[in-house]
Structure 1
Amino acid sequence: MTDIKRILVPVDGSETSDRAIEEAIKIAEVYNSDIHILYVANINQLAINACLSDAILEAVTKAGNEILEKAANKVPEKINVITTSETGSPSVTITDFADEIKADLVVIGSRGLGLVKGVLLGSVSQYVVEHAPCPALVVK
């Protein structure tokens, strides 16, 4: 990894995603990288279209924006930070987004705030390690 210009950090508001932001900042300071912070609302697109009310969607969007803002506020002003919110399966959305932005590195927490916490490495981080189009650093 000699030229790390774009670092992707998926966040969900958990302690490990906060630590992932901290590690990404350290790397970004060395390589003068941009940090892309991604929040993925784990909602099946079909369920959004079929069942969820506008009020629920608004609440999910608001919560995601708060998580993104909190994460972005941790990044020093000298580092360029880009925030994005998506909906869908977190595993697939993260790897697709890494490919889309041509990320040089994904920095992801080992465990998030999923329904079943603490199962081995964590299904999302495990999937990202196996499928990301670039190196992935898992932070404990």
Structure 2
Amino acid sequence: MTDIKTILVPVDGSKGSDKAVDFAISLAQVYKAKVNFLYIANINQLAINACLSDAILDAVTKAGDSVLDKALEKVPHGMQAEAFSETGSPAVTILEFVQENKNDMIVMGSRGLGVVKGVLLGSVSQYVVENAKCPVVIAK
């Protein structure tokens, strides 16, 4: 396998996401890699109206911060980790983030908190597996 220096872990607070965090930390220890946690506020699900109120945006931001803090708390002392928060379509945002930040691998849960479920994989994980240009590990 190629040299793994950074691992991206999209997080949403789901059980699958928690498993991905644990697995990514284990991999990062083996490769001595940095872990990037990414929370994405799915504006597709939130944007019922064209305008989102400040209260909704604040609630989404706080939820994201909480999920990211929980992931960062699991990182052992001495391991490099960073948290990022974005808004957009999760699948597309994950792939854009990987490319812009030159992550070497993606570790993600098979299903998240999304409303629409895929048959075998969640729609986000399925899209990422099919379109990523780096290795993708699905933690179950």
TM range (shorter): over 0.9
Q: Contact conserved, 2:8 with 2:36, CA < 8 A, in 1? A: yes
Aligned residue for 2:128, secondary structure, equals helix
Quote the Cα distance in structure 2 between the aligned partners of 1:37 and 1:64: 11
Structure 1: runs of 5+ lacking an equivalent: none
- Whole-angstrom distance in 1 between the partners of 2:91 and 2:28: 23
Match of 1:24 in 2: 24
Structure 1: distance between partners of 2:55 and 2:119: 32
Q: TM-score, normalised by structure 2?
A: 0.93
Tell me by how many angstroms 1:56 deviates.
0.7
Question: Which residue does the alignment assign to 1:87?
Answer: 87
Quote the RMSD (CA, aligned, Å). 1.6
In structure 2, the partner of 1:109 is: 109
Take 1:20 and 1:75, find their aligned partners in 2: how far apart are those partners? 13
Asked if the contact 1:99/1:132 (under 8 Å) is kept, the reply is: no
Residue 117 of structure 1 deviates from its aligned partner by 4.3
Match of 2:97, as an amino acid? Answer: F
Question: How many Å separate the matches in 1 of 2:6 and 2:49?
Answer: 33
Identity of aligned residues (%): 64
Q: Which residue of 1 aligns with 2:38?
A: 38
Name the CA distance, whole Å, in 2 between partners of 1:95 and 1:26. 22
Query: Per the alignment, in what secondary structure is the counterpart of residue 106 of structure 1?
Result: strand
The C-alpha deviation readout for 1:63-88, integer Å capped at 9, x for no partner, is: 01100100111111221001000000
Partner SS state of residue 62, structure 1: helix
Q: Confirm or deny: 8 A CA contact 2:116 2:123 kept in the other structure.
A: no
Structure-to-structure mapping, 1:29-68, within 5 angstroms? 29-44=29-44, 47=47, 50-68=50-68
Point out where structure 2 has 5 or more consecutive residues left out of the alignment.
none
- Give how far 1:131 is off: 1.0
- Output the CA distance in 2 between the equivalents of 1:39 and 1:54: 19
Distance in structure 1 (CA, Å) of the matches to 2:48 and 2:77: 36
Q: Please state how far the C-alpha of 1:49 moved relative to its aligned partner.
A: 9.3
The Cα offsets for residues 30-73 of structure 1, whole Å up to 9 and x where unpaired, read as 111000000000004xx499311111100110001100100111
